[in-house]
């Protein structure tokens, strides 16, 4: 908690400096949060290229609008709000297109098959077991794609990023109660989609 407070104080100084036009201060802020931003975008888009685009757009938007930052929330919440909005737009656009196979792509657009990464290398693992794990991963990927954009983001931020519901609510500019309901719907859908897999 002490570390968090210290980081907030440090952020506030950096933000004020950046608002006065000090770009080095803004870059220091970027470095504190950009890995988390890139990871969230990468997990949600499944593409290094798209994640990089969202990263650029988010920080450029933050830079341009930093003058309007009034310290009503933390910089962390503010940048997450920008990123989640961009990810929501991206997922909504993607959902209007046709289904895609569960592959991700790197920055050069080369496909990275996530399912290849499921292989269990531990001693005692068998090809049958590996096959079963891959099938399960494919079903999970498909089930996640069937969630609405908002359900997907809430679920990703809660289950994989481990954020508190209150933080997710702040990032999505909504109440904790709404986030709870969205998470409930997402979990029920996943439960139904994976019911026969257990």
Contacts with other proteins, 15-54, as mask; x by CB under 8 A: ----x-xxxxxxxx-xx--xx--xx--xx--x-x--xx--
Nearer residue to other proteins within complex by CB, 172 or 190: 190
- The minimum distance between CB 82 and other proteins, in angstroms, equals 11
Supply the angle between the helices 75-95 and 23-45 in degrees, to the nearest 10.
40
Contacts with other proteins, 162-191, as mask; x by CB under 8 A: --xx--------------x--xx--x--xx
Contacts with other proteins, 82-121, as mask; x by CB under 8 A: -------x--------------x-xx----x-x--xx---
Number of residues that bind other proteins (CB under 8 A): 59
């Amino acid at each position: 908690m002490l570390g968090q407070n210290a980081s907030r104080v440090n952020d506030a100084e950096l933000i004020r400096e950046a608002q006065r036009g000090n770009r080095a201060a803004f870059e220091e802020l970027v470095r504190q949060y950009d890995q988390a931003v890139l990871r969230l975008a990468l997990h949600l888009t499944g593409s290094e290229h798209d994640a990089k685009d969202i990263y650029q757009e988010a920080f450029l938007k933050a830079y341009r609008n930093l003058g309007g930052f009034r310290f009503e929330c933390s910089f962390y919440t503010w940048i997450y709000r920008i990123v989640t909005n961009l990810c929501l737009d991206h997922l909504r656009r993607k959902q209007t297109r046709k289904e895609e196979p569960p592959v991700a792509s790197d920055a050069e657009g080369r496909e990275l098959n996530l399912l290849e990464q499921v292989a269990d290398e531990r001693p005692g693992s068998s090809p049958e077991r590996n096959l079963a794990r891959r099938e399960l991963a494919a079903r999970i990927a498909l089930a996640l794609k069937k969630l609405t954009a908002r359900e997907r983001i809430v679920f990703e931020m809660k289950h994989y990023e481990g954020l508190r519901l209150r933080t997710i609510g702040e990032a999505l500019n909504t109440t904790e109660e709404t986030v709870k309901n969205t998470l409930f719907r997402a979990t029920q859908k996943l439960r139904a989609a994976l019911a026969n897999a257990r």
